Amino acid sequence: MENLFLEKSNKTPFIEFDANRGYLLIEGRSIPEDALDFYQPLFSWLDSYSKTAQEVTVMEFKLEYFNTSSSKCLVEILRRLEDINCEKHVEVKWFYEQDDEDMQESGEDYMQLVNVPISFEPY
Amino acid sequence: MSKRRQNIFYNEQHLFERSREVNNAFQETSDRDLLQEYDSLSSNYGRLLGEVKLITSVSDRLQNKLNKANEKISEQNEKLTDTVNLLTKAKISRAATTIVLIIAVFLFMLSEGVLEPIVEGYVDNDIIGFALKAVIAILLKPIEMLIESILYKKARKKAHHSIDLNEK
């Protein structure tokens, strides 16, 4: 299975989905005009990955800002990880800047919504 | 609602349409199928409700963040305006001082070369010549203030004009 790398832009985050290591990273700012257009390849990749997922999958979110549409797409990603977590082990790490309480609280909201363990990592 | 927003909720849209279909075909649907559909619909509704709560909460936080950023920009803008005003005043003050210095030199030459010989021709008293020079010297400060005020008004007019042009 091919890995997925997307360079970051002013409006979209850096994406590193490494199937061999079971390491997934979304980093930066996510304010695309068409969130679904940006996230659809990620959904498709995750759908394929779920069939051959590693024993342990680590998903890291290092977001500094994301818009409302992106927040819905993040739910979709977490839903897919929730499915993978039923058979394999998934760890989600939610990174946020030390003084960014909003980002921390957003992560806590996601934790309440999905059935995947989320750990919080201030930096 | 834009098409883009509808796409984000494509799963939910599909589920909603499915429930409408089941509802329309109510007559041909058995109670058991109907119960299953109802169960599916209610669990999906619960899921959607959770997502809506999350999205609303995220959206509110984004709005707060934007408000805070706007407040910060306004504060910085005010500070910047104050600094620009101070700089403009300092610049104008320097220009006024230079102009007054030139006027002072001109008046000094005028008093020494023209006024003093005239005064000495009429009155044989050094104090009058000295008093005349003192009056000229005392007048320099009000002249400087007057020039400063004129230059400041001119600068403000120019600034307003450039703001108007930018707004247009």
pLDDT of residue B28: 65
pLDDT of residue B129: 76
Which residues numbered 109-148 in B keep a CB inside 8 Å of some CB on A? none
What CATH number did the domain enclosing A85 receive? 3.30.750
Instruction: Please give the residue of chain B at the shortest CA–CA distance from A69.
Output: B8
Residue A18, helix vs strand vs coil: strand
Q: What is the pLDDT confidence band of residue A119, given thresholds at 50, 70 and 90?
A: very high
Q: Given an 8 Å threshold on Cβ–Cβ distance, is B8 in contact with A72? A: yes
> How many distinct structural domains can be found in chain A?
1
Nearest to B8 among A36, A65, A112 (CB): A36
Q: Give one DSSP letter per residue of A56-115, joined into a string.
A: EEEEEEEEEEE-HHHHHHHHHHHHHHHHHHHHSEEEEEEEE-TT-HHHHHHHHHHHHHSS
Q: Given an 8 Å threshold on Cβ–Cβ distance, is A75 in contact with B4? A: no
Question: Which residues 6+ apart lie within 8 Å of B120 measured at CB?
Answer: B129
Q: Given an 8 Å threshold on Cβ–Cβ distance, is B62 in contact with A67? A: yes
Q: What is the DSSP letter of A20?
A: T
* Average pLDDT, integer, range A25-43: 94
- A43: pLDDT strictly greater than 90: yes
Instruction: Please give the residue of chain B at the shortest CA–CA distance from A39.
Output: B8
Distance CA B48, CA B43 (A): 9
The structure tokens 């409006």 sit at: A11
* Average pLDDT, integer, range A22-39: 94
* Average pLDDT, integer, range A79-97: 94
Whether B57 and chain A come into contact, CB under 8 Å, resolves to: yes
**CA distance to partner chain A, nearest, from residue B56 (Å):** 8
Q: What's the mean per-residue pLDDT of chain A?
A: 93
pTM: 0.67
The structure tokens 């999958």 sit at: A57
**CA distance to partner chain A, nearest, from residue B62 (Å):** 7
pLDDT of residue A99: 87
Q: Which of B71, B70, B90 is nearest to B82 (CA)?
A: B90
Distance CA B10, CA B14 (A): 6
pLDDT of residue A101: 87
Going residue by residue through chain B (168 aa), what tens digit of pLDDT does each one get? 445 554 667 777 777 777 777 777 766 667 777 778 778 888 888 888 888 888 888 888 888 888 888 999 999 999 998 998 889 888 888 988 899 899 888 888 888 888 777 877 787 777 777 887 888 888 888 888 888 888 888 887 887 777 677 666
Determine how many CB atoms are found less than 10 A away from the CB of residue B41. 16
Instruction: Please give the residue of chain A at the shortest CA–CA distance from B68.
Output: A102
Q: Given an 8 Å threshold on Cβ–Cβ distance, is A75 in contact with B51? A: yes
Nearest to A109 among B4, B9, B58 (CB): B58
- A109: pLDDT strictly greater than 80: yes
Q: Domain range spanning residue A59?
A: 4-122
**CA distance to partner chain A, nearest, from residue B155 (Å):** 38
pLDDT of residue B2: 47
Q: Does residue B47 or residue A21 have the better pLDDT?
A: A21
Determine how many CB atoms are found less than 10 A away from the CB of residue A6. 15
